[in-house]
Amino acid sequence: MIKLDAVSLVYDDGHRSVEALHDLSLAVARGEFVSIAGPSGCGKSTILHVIAGFIAPQSGTVTIDGKPVSGPGTDRGVVFQRHNLLPWKTVRENIALGPKVQDAPFEAQTRIADEWIARIGLRGFEDSYPDELSEGMRQRVGLARAFATDPAVLLMDEPFASLDALTAIRMRELLVSMWEKSSKVVLFVTHDIDEAILLSDRVIVLTDRPARVRKEVGIDLARPRSYERSLDAGAETFRRELRSLLLSSSQGVEEA
Amino acid sequence: MRGSQPTAQWRGESWVWGSAAFAVLVVAWWGIAAAGVFNERLIPPPAAVLRAFMEMLASGEWLRDLGSSLGRFGAGFAFGNVLGVILGVITGHSRIARYTVGAILNFARSTPTILLVPVAMVWLGIGEAAKVLVITWGVLFPVWLNTQMGLAAVEKEYVWVAQSLGATKAQLYRHVYLPHTLLHIVTGARIAVATGFFALAATEVVGAFSGIGFRAFFSYQNFRTDRMIVAILTLTSVAFVIDRLFVRVVRRVVPWWRHAQLEG
Give B244-252 contacts, CB < 8 A, sequence gap 24+: B246/B189, B246/B190, B246/B193, B247/B190, B250/B186, B250/B190
| Average confidence (pLDDT) over B58-85 | 96
> A-chain residues within 8 Å CB-CB of B179?
86, 88
Q: What is the pLDDT of residues B113-155, one digit of tens each?
A: 999 999 999 999 888 999 999 999 999 999 999 999 989 888 9
pLDDT band of B43, cuts 50, 70, 90: confident
Residue B262 pLDDT more than 80?
no
Which run of H or of E encompasses A194?
Answer: helix A193-199
- Give the nearest chain B residue to A96 (CA atoms): B165
Residue B2 pLDDT more than 60?
no
As a whole-number percent, the residues of chain B with pLDDT over 90 amount to 69
Q: What is the pLDDT of residues B242-255, one digit of tens each?
A: 999 988 888 887 77
According to the model, what pLDDT value does residue B215 have? 94
| Average confidence (pLDDT) over B26-31 | 92
CA distance B200 to B205: 9
Distance, CA of A164 to chain centre: 18
Asked if omega into A224 is within 30° of 0 (cis), the reply is: yes
Q: State the pTM of this model.
A: 0.79
CA distance B214 to B203: 9
**Interface test with chain B among A83, A100, A126, by most B beta carbons within 10 Å:** A83
Please tell me the distance in Å from B176's CA to the nearest CA on chain A: 8
- Which residues are within 8 A (CB) of A3 and not within 5 positions of it... i.e. 6 or more apart? A26, A27, A28, A61, A62, A63, A64
Chain B contacts to A (CB-CB under 8 A): 2-3, 155-158, 160-168, 171, 175-176, 179-180, 183, 254-256, 258-260
Complex prediction ipTM: 0.91
> A-chain residues within 8 Å CB-CB of B255?
129
According to the model, what pLDDT value does residue A54 have? 96
According to the model, what pLDDT value does residue A255 have? 42
According to the model, what pLDDT value does residue A131 have? 87
Q: Average per-residue pLDDT in chain B?
A: 89
Residues of chain A with pLDDT below 70 are 229-231, 250-256
CA distance A86 to A117: 16
Please tell me the distance in Å from B188's CA to the nearest CA on chain A: 18
CA distance A70 to A59: 13
The one-letter code for the residue type at B76 is G
H-state helical runs in chain B: 4-34, 46-59, 61-93, 95-99, 101-108, 116-124, 128-152, 156-164, 169-172, 178-205, 212-221, 225-253
- Give the nearest chain B residue to A154 (CA atoms): B164
CA distance A211 to B89: 39
CA distance A26 to B250: 50
Concatenated DSSP letters for B57-103?
Answer: HHHTHHHHHHHHHHHHHHHHHHHHHHHHHHHHHHHHH-HHHHHTHHH
The one-letter code for the residue type at A121 is G
A149 part of contact set with chain B, CB < 8 Å: yes
A17-26, B3-12, B187-196: range with lowest mean pLDDT: B3-12
CA distance A155 to A27: 14
pLDDT band of B189, cuts 50, 70, 90: very high
Strand A33-37 and strand A185-190: the pairing is parallel
* Cβ pair A72:B258 closer than 8 A: no
According to the model, what pLDDT value does residue B53 have? 96
Residue B96 pLDDT more than 90?
yes
Exposure letters B66-101 (e unless 16+ CB within 10 A, then b) = bebbbebbebbbebbbebbbebbbbbbeeeebbeee
* Cβ pair B157:A52 closer than 8 A: no
Residue B57 pLDDT more than 70?
yes
A111-115, B10-14, B182-186: range with lowest mean pLDDT: B10-14
The CA-atom distances, in angstroms, between B251 and each of A34, B47, B75, B221, B263 are: 44, 38, 24, 43, 10
- Give the nearest chain A residue to B161 (CA atoms): A78
| Average confidence (pLDDT) over B63-81 | 96
SS3 category, A161: coil
A138-152, A212-226, B46-60, B158-172: range with lowest mean pLDDT: A212-226
Dihedral pair phi/psi, residue B35, rounded to 5°: -65, -20
**Interface test with chain A among B256, B258, B259, B263, by most A beta carbons within 10 Å:** B256
Residue B40 pLDDT more than 50?
yes
Residue B56 pLDDT more than 90?
yes
According to the model, what pLDDT value does residue A231 have? 62
Residue B218 pLDDT more than 60?
yes
Q: In what order do the strands lie in the sheet with A33-37?
A: A76-79, A153-157, A185-190, A33-37, A202-206, A213-218
Residue B7 pLDDT more than 70?
no
> B-chain residues within 8 Å CB-CB of A86?
158, 161-162, 175-176, 179
According to the model, what pLDDT value does residue A224 have? 79
H-state helical runs in A38-190: 44-52, 91-101, 106-119, 135-148, 165-181
Which 8-state DSSP code applies to residue A223?
Answer: S
